[in-house]
Amino acid sequence: MAKIFQVTARAGMTRVVEPIARGLLRAGVTPNAVTVAGTLGVLVGALGFGARGHLVAGAIIVTVFALTDLLDGTMARMSGGSTRFGAFLDSSMDRVADSAVFAAVAYWLATQQQYSGVAAALLCLAAGGLVSYVKARAEGLGMTCNVGIAERTERLLIVGVGGVLTGVGVEVALEVALWLLAAVSIFTVGQRVAHVYRQARQAPTASGGQG
């Protein structure tokens, strides 16, 4: 059910994004420029607002600019497909943006002496990086890894909802959201490792070092 909802939501967003993507391409804007602009917007929302306790404004700004992840991908597809550098840049900027979001949340929670939430935010940061690394490493070895209940969009949505609820007075919402996110992120890592293990059992031994 969750997967069906995710696919439906993405299809709906694509119909909204495609006209914007066409307009930007006609104006000469490149997908890479949108990628960088989206990351800068997330940094402003996270560090300029979220870290200072303006949680509702920060969550809204981060969510809006995080949607450029869908926009730049649509633009790349319309312009003939993503380049190797474009894919590299997009992945790298995603890691920068995610790090800023959770660092900002951890900083603000520390100023409020909510150290359990700080621990959860740091765990989310580590687990989120591992979710992405497992997929990248699997694809580097020639396998697929498009599985998991907590991909990047879902992770940002969960922390965003927690931030908004806390900002309007539900004090424990952000901490609860972070622990929930930590749990589903770790579960997603397990899902991806298991998925890759099943593929690896049927594939020839890969060359390359460990570590």
Confirm if 186 and 167 have CB atoms less than 8 A apart.
Answer: no
Q: Is 77 annotated as a binding residue?
A: yes
Q: Is 73 annotated as a binding residue?
A: yes
**pLDDT range class, residue 61, cuts 50, 70, 90:** very high
Q: What is the mean pLDDT of residues 202-211?
A: 58
Catalytic-residue membership of 94: yes
pLDDT of the residue at 155: 85
On the question of pLDDT at 9 being above 80, the answer is no
Q: Is 98 annotated as a binding residue?
A: no
- What b/e string do you get for 80-91 counting C-beta neighbours within 10 Å, with b at 16 or more? eebeeebeebbe
pLDDT of the residue at 112: 94
On the question of pLDDT at 190 being above 50, the answer is yes
**Number of C-beta neighbours around residue 8 at 10 A:** 10
With pLDDT > 90 as the criterion, what percentage of the chain qualifies? Answer: 62
Residue at token pair 């969550």: 59
**pLDDT range class, residue 81, cuts 50, 70, 90:** confident
**pLDDT range class, residue 68, cuts 50, 70, 90:** confident
pLDDT of the residue at 120: 96
**pLDDT range class, residue 166, cuts 50, 70, 90:** very high
∠ CA(140), CA(146), CA(151), 5° rounding?
110
On the question of pLDDT at 23 being above 50, the answer is yes
Q: What is the mean pLDDT of residues 90-109?
A: 94
∠ CA(205), CA(206), CA(209), 5° rounding?
125
Q: Is 72 annotated as a binding residue?
A: yes
Q: Is 32 annotated as a binding residue?
A: yes
d(CA 47, CA 38): 14
- Nearest residue to 174 (alpha-carbon basis) of 90, 88, 102: 102
- Nearest residue to 72 (alpha-carbon basis) of 18, 115, 122, 113: 18
Q: Walk me through the domains of the chain, giving residue ranges and CATH numbers.
A: 2-200 (1.20.120.1760)
104-160, pLDDT tens digit by residue?
Answer: 999 999 999 999 999 999 999 999 999 999 999 999 899 999 888 887 878 888 999
Task: Supply the pTM of this predicted model.
Answer: 0.83
Which of the following is catalytic: 94, 98, 181, 182? 94
